Structure 1
Amino acid sequence: MSTWPDADGKVIDRYLAQLRLRHPTSPTTYRRILRSFQEVTARQNPEAALITRETLETWLSEGARVWARSTLLHDARIINRFLDYLVQKGFIAVNPIDELRATYHASSDKAVLRALLSPDVDQALEALRQFPAFGSVLGELMRNHITLMRTRGYRYQAQARWLWRFDRFLQAHPEFAAEPVPVMLRHWTAARPTANHAAECEKLARILGKALHRLDPATMPKRPDPRPGQQVAKQWRRPYIYSAEEVRQLLDIAQSYPSPRAPLRPASLYTMLVLAYCCGLRLGELARLDLGDVDLAAGTITIRETKFFKSRILPLANSALVALKEYLEMRRKAKAPQSPESGLFWHDQGNAGYTPHAIAQCLVDILRRSGIKPAKGKIGPRIHDLRHSFVVNRILEWYRAGINPQDKLPFLATYLGHRDIHSTLVYITVTQDLLEQANERFRRFGAHCLAVSEGVQP
């Protein structure tokens, strides 16, 4: 194992060099933080590269005399990443923060650091303790069922979360361990009074019924109850259909988005909005786009392995194609990687692409800046409503062109990446414009039938 702490600080210098910090004062700040931690480590363990919980507590207590709690937590997260680097390079055997997180099954490293700053560290760490995944009496059944479904090709992410929450409930209430599964589910349903929880429990009952039936064919799955799902459907928020003026406003804000440290970001956000509105792309699909997915010659983009494990090639409208060409030119001038595997929406901080979460944060901020969405909270229009707007506007264009939308729904479902038209029908929101077009189409094609039936000659 290599030696650390070192007297000349070369390990810290090598670590800072590979971080590629952009702000000119950041290396100085990082070096100060890391050197202070190195001094504490050398003072406590002068003969061995050993970092323990006591080392962290000493450094935090000394820092708490000088810095505010929020600043100290920020510095501690820098130390945590440095410890990961030391483990990777072989300077230390283990990161004690990771060790504490594993011991107490804590939800995050940040939670562990907060606990180490508490007056009673042992009590704070104990309060973080989480139950091990699938450690209940039904844990093995649940884990095996998830493995089976994923082996069959299902992602099974939402269902796994439902099972995991139920497993935690059972571990917190060992008194239910001897009860039949339906009784366990009744207690779990009663634990939260919300309609969403009741609907989730109903789906959970079907999943567990199928898992038990696979083990014992004599155990028949429960007949589904549609009422919890119907109650949730009544609470669904009506999609917001953006007008052309509102979309133009969003695009203008994206083009002037304040981003002095990432000059390419305004163009990236503008192009994201164009593709979300003109192609109905999901946020995850935007994040997964690579440079090789764009074919300017053919005027198409390829959406790979998205929801329902579908890949599709989408033709682009002329306006979207022009915006994409301009973005690619700006991306090239920004010296972004030009390999086909490079993320289409690239930023130079970390030389990586945008994650779905980062895209959502930026685009929601644009919504708030426009005034379309309130400054705080989850209420108001969503970015996903651009996908709804795409569907409504496409149907409106078909009506105006004299095309029967019913005949085109299978094509629209394919374009959106749906399994069938039933998923697409969810996106058809009846607006005033759509209703007027439908009424006009009925007047042209069906009004004369009513006149004849009433004895009036057309």
Structure 2
Amino acid sequence: MSAWLDTDDTVAEEFLKTRKLTEKRFRAYRSVIRSFERVSQRHQALSREMLSEWMRERKVNFWPKSSQVQEIHIVDDFIDYLLKRGLIDKNPIADLRLKHGARGNRPVWRAIASPNPDDALVALRRPAPFGSFLGDFMQNHVTLMRNRGYKYTTEADLLLRFDRFLQASPHLAGESIEKMVAAWAAAKRTPHHAAQCQKAERMLTKARYRIDAKMLPRPCDPRVGQQVARIYRKPHILSPGDVRLMLDVSRSYSTRTFSYRPLCARHMIILAYCAGLRRGEIARLNLGDVDFNSGTITIRDTKFYKTRILPLSDSALSELGAFVDARRGAGASQDPQSALFWHDHPSGRHSSYMVSKMITEVMRQAGLKPLSGRAGPRVHDLRHSMVVNRILEWYRTGVNPQERLRFLSTYMGHRDINSTLVYITVTRDLLHEANERFRAIGIRCLNLEVAS
């Protein structure tokens, strides 16, 4: 007999009622839950052995099949529901995740489904952060930089990867930083890894220089960065026509469970292109961040701890006004602190991943990106396209772009103008407009020099 007695399927039916499901998905969920409860009735408590037995009966071997992954998600959600209701004392998946240091539940399920679950669970354990012989030195450096006001997130992740390599290479203890990094670079000979190793060496030698001024940091080899730049994915600049096509396609954006989603996708594209917002900035927007009286939108606590207030065009504001009305009609919370792109989910908002996924799907349906794979434009390319098309419009209206770049840099939320210059991709149209401007203005200066 199971820990929760559900002979009449009352618990399962109550769980299913809390999820807004279509009739077809409701039947699929009920089938999975009933199979899980049939196995549970043969056990005294919810345990790893019971989960293994259920997976064997359902023939879940966790191959990359969407149906099997979906069944795991359903049962995972049901176990959380049972724990929340107090019908079980513990969640064995959560316990195993904490015990073995897994990042999520899926690796634990995968380990249970493997031929040797014990070995697979042990393999999930990750090394302790900064646990190598150089760990204290690196951790003190990260703490120092964060105390100085830097987020130092990507740099800390890079040093953690180097630390895991050192933990697996105890024979490098006592060697110089340069030799340690050289051994790490030799473990994976790719241009990107070489650039990462060079960056880590630069950080650590500069940290060492603060302790011992005699140990000067070595300059970086520019050829490593140049090699990475040659294979780096170039931004895809979308024309205004491409953006209009995406907006048209977003009106019929296919969705099976959430009729409000096409509106979200459409207005995410509007803000990504018209305001140049990053996907994380879109996901963090709240209802109260849009001020229709002043015609602005507030972007809070973005990169470099910045908050900025952006003016929007009349057309963008009109679209956002219609979206807020539709959002209210969909039953979304009207609390100013609630998500602008509300979602009927415990978090109440779309994540950065979902923002990227929805816009990418619109790109695929519009024919701008292949139906699968990474080729074609990315979500961040809308931000690049906004910069290039803005400069093009300045050229065409007779405005000197150099006088406006500092304002564009502030609008984009950059630290300085150098970060904005990275976004300026020289397209054929941009090169043509620049040549025309030089022909109209620069030639006269050359003629004056010749005459003098």
TM-score, normalised via structure 2 length: 0.89
Q: 1:277 aligns with which of 264, 273, 276?
A: 273
Instruction: State the distance in 2 between where 1:222 and 1:92 align.
Output: 59
CA positional deviation for 1:39: 4.8
Q: 2:392 aligns with which of 390, 393, 396?
A: 396
Instruction: State the distance in 1 between where 2:263 and 2:398 align.
Output: 36
Q: Equivalent residues in 2 for 1:109-148 (5 A)?
A: 109-148=105-144
Q: Equivalent residues in 2 for 1:36-435 (5 A)?
A: 36-45=35-44, 50-64=45-59, 70=65, 71=67, 73-88=69-84, 90-214=86-210, 219-350=215-346, 352-435=348-431
CA positional deviation for 1:443: 2.4
Larger deviation, residues 123-132 vs 237-246: 123-132
Letter in 2 for 1:55: M
Instruction: State the distance in 2 between where 1:339 and 1:222 align.
Output: 54
CA positional deviation for 1:10: 5.6
Instruction: State the distance in 2 between where 1:441 and 1:68 align.
Output: 59
Letter in 1 for 2:145: M
SS at match of 1:43: coil
Instruction: State the distance in 1 between where 2:432 and 2:59 align.
Output: 66
What is the aligned residue count? Answer: 449
SS at match of 2:254: coil
Does the aligned pair in 2 maintain the 1:299–1:315 contact within 8 Å? yes
Structure 1 stretches of 4+ with a deviation exceeding 6 A read: 65-69
SS at match of 1:44: coil
Instruction: State the distance in 1 between where 2:362 and 2:38 align.
Output: 45
CA positional deviation for 1:120: 2.9
Distance verdict in 2 for CA 1:89–1:140, change over 3 Å: farther
* Identity, % of aligned positions: 47
Larger deviation, residues 103-112 vs 63-72: 63-72
Instruction: State the distance in 2 between where 1:354 and 1:40 align.
Output: 35
CA positional deviation for 1:32: 5.0
SS at match of 1:302: strand
Which stretches in structure 1 are left out of the alignment for 5+ residues? none
Deviations 1:240-299 (A, max 9, x none): 221222111111111111124212211221111112111111111111111101011111
CA positional deviation for 1:145: 3.1
Letter in 1 for 2:46: I
SS at match of 2:133: coil
SS at match of 2:42: helix
Q: Which residue of 1 aligns with 2:22?
A: 23
Instruction: State the distance in 1 between where 2:377 and 2:358 align.
Output: 15
Does the aligned pair in 1 maintain the 2:39–2:50 contact within 8 Å? yes
Instruction: State the distance in 2 between where 1:192 and 1:361 align.
Output: 31
Larger deviation, residues 180-189 vs 115-124: 115-124
Letter in 2 for 1:423: S
Instruction: State the distance in 1 between where 2:189 and 2:359 align.
Output: 33
Letter in 1 for 2:59: A
Does the aligned pair in 1 maintain the 2:62–2:113 contact within 8 Å? no
Does the aligned pair in 1 maintain the 2:39–2:54 contact within 8 Å? yes
Instruction: State the distance in 2 between where 1:371 and 1:25 align.
Output: 30
Instruction: State the distance in 2 between where 1:443 and 1:184 align.
Output: 55
CA positional deviation for 1:347: 2.5
Letter in 2 for 1:169: F
Letter in 2 for 1:58: E
Letter in 1 for 2:51: L
SS at match of 1:353: coil
Larger deviation, residues 85-94 vs 193-202: 85-94
Which stretches in structure 2 are left out of the alignment for 5+ residues? none
SS at match of 1:238: coil
CA positional deviation for 1:214: 4.8
Does the aligned pair in 1 maintain the 2:185–2:193 contact within 8 Å? yes
Does the aligned pair in 2 maintain the 1:20–1:350 contact within 8 Å? no
Root-mean-square deviation (CA, aligned residues, Å) is: 2.8
Q: Which residue of 2 aligns with 1:443?
A: 439
Instruction: State the distance in 2 between where 1:323 and 1:234 align.
Output: 40
Does the aligned pair in 1 maintain the 2:246–2:366 contact within 8 Å? yes
Letter in 1 for 2:72: A
Does the aligned pair in 1 maintain the 2:300–2:308 contact within 8 Å? yes
Does the aligned pair in 2 maintain the 1:106–1:128 contact within 8 Å? yes
Instruction: State the distance in 2 between where 1:121 and 1:432 align.
Output: 58
CA positional deviation for 1:84: 3.4
